[in-house]
Amino acid sequence: MVNPQMVMYEEEFNQIQTVVDRLVKDANAKVVFIVDKNGQLIAASGDVDNLDTTSLASLTAGNIAATGGMAKLLKENEFATQFHEGEKANIHIQLVGNRVILVVIFDAKSSLGLVRLRVRKASEELNHIFEALLKKVQEPGADSPFAEITDEDIDNLFND
């Protein structure tokens, strides 16, 4: 297997959520979310109720993948940071530890400088959390909760 299985436990999730919640406040952001490189949403904070975070997660990952592809062609390792400026909303995308993507959406109440500063600190914290999480996942005995499921369970999912 190339990539280890991504697993999220309660303990690490709470740590990540704390970092993300704080980043919303510290950076004066509207929304902050974290996506894995395959487009799965890991955590979100801020004004997310009116936002299609699932779609945003998938598109962010696509964007990072495309940029990573360009980097490779230029013999760069990665382009770790992206910034898109709109009329009202801006989006700052940061690759963390080459593993997950930290996205900050902000408006005129904040500034790119502040966001970059706060993202840098949050990235370091997140990197530590994800490193620890990865170790935990790779420990023997960390079985999939799906090891116990039966063929019947799977069939039942499709009996509609």
Written as one letter, the residue type at 8 is M
Residue 139 lies near other proteins (rule: CB under 8 A): no
With contact defined as beta carbons under 8 Å apart, do 95 and 64 qualify?
yes
Residue number with CB closer to other proteins (74 or 157)? 157
The nearest distance, CB 70 to other proteins, in angstroms, is 9
With contact defined as beta carbons under 8 Å apart, do 51 and 31 qualify?
yes
Which of helix, strand or coil describes residue 134?
A: helix
Residue 74 lies near other proteins (rule: CB under 8 A): no
DSSP state of 49: T
Q: Supply 103's token pair.
A: 């996205």
The nearest distance, CB 84 to other proteins, in angstroms, is 16
- Given the rule CB under 8 A, which of 48-56, 74-82, 98-106, 120-128 is the region that contacts other proteins? 48-56
Say which residue the tokens 């369970």 belong to. Answer: 153
Among 22, 37, 116, 121, which residue interacts with other proteins (rule: CB under 8 A)?
37
Residue 51 lies near other proteins (rule: CB under 8 A): no
The nearest distance, CB 137 to other proteins, in angstroms, is 9
Q: Which residues are CB-neighbours of 34 under 8 A, at least 6 positions away?
A: 16, 20, 41, 42, 43, 44, 96, 100, 101, 102, 103, 126
With contact defined as beta carbons under 8 Å apart, do 55 and 49 qualify?
no
- Given the rule CB under 8 A, which of 7-15, 21-29, 78-86, 126-134 is the region that contacts other proteins? 7-15
Residue 87 lies near other proteins (rule: CB under 8 A): no
The nearest distance, CB 127 to other proteins, in angstroms, is 19
Q: Which residues bind other proteins (CB under 8 A)?
A: 1-10, 13-14, 36-40, 42, 52, 54-55, 58-59, 62, 65-66, 68-69, 143-149, 151, 153-158, 160
